[in-house]
């Protein structure tokens, strides 16, 4: 009996020692669990911050694309307006040239009847506004040069906006 008691005491002592080491391991695991919870919370905070930053960058990118599209649309509108004005200008020039030809034809008919000396004095008096087509063309040219300068300024502004957007994309990258 004593021998069995000793055996059971040895077993009991071994179990208590094992229990003590298991308790110590459990305490260590609890500490590790707490530390891991703190680390995970830090990572979650970093993930949320990165997510917010990505949303802001995405929003900025979207706004930049929208501004770029609006600028492209305005450029296309300006190009279309320029083409219509160009066609209108060419049409007016052709009409003026036709009127000048008609006047020249009528003047030629008059010169045949009146003679060469009277024709030159009469031609300058009757032509009026069509007597100097170069002056008319110069006025039209000045008008178109001014419009082209305005369009160039708009294009320069668009190019500056595009450079700003490209720099922003480079910074994002």
Average pLDDT on 81-107 reads 87
**The pLDDT value given to residue 123:** 47
Percent of the chain with pLDDT over 90: 58
Candidates 100, 99, 78, 95; CA nearest to 147 is: 78
- Examine the pLDDT at 83 and tell me if it is beyond 80: yes
Helix 133-172 with 2-114: angle, nearest 10 deg:
180
Per the prediction, the chain carries an average pLDDT of: 86
Candidates 91, 95, 83; CA nearest to 144 is: 83
- Examine the pLDDT at 115 and tell me if it is beyond 80: no
Average pLDDT on 101-117 reads 71
């Amino acid at each position: 009996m004593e021998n069995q008691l000793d055996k059971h005491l040895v077993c009991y002592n071994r179990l208590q020692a094992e229990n003590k080491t298991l308790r110590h391991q459990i305490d260590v695991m609890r500490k590790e669990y707490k530390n891991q919870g703190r680390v995970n919370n830090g990572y979650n905070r970093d993930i949320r911050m990165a997510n917010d930053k990505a949303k802001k960058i995405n929003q900025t990118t979207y706004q930049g694309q929208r501004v770029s599209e609006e600028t492209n649309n305005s450029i296309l509108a300006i190009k279309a307006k320029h083409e219509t004005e160009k066609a209108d200008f060419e049409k007016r020039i052709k009409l003026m040239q036709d009127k000048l030809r008609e006047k020249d034809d009528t003047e030629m008919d008059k010169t045949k009847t009146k003679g060469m000396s009277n024709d030159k004095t009469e031609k300058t008096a009757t032509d009026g506004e069509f007597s100097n087509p170069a002056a008319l063309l110069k006025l039209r040219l000045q008008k178109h040069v001014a419009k082209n300068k305005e369009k160039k300024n708009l294009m320069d502004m668009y190019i500056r906006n595009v450079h700003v957007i490209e720099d922003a994309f480079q910074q994002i990258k």
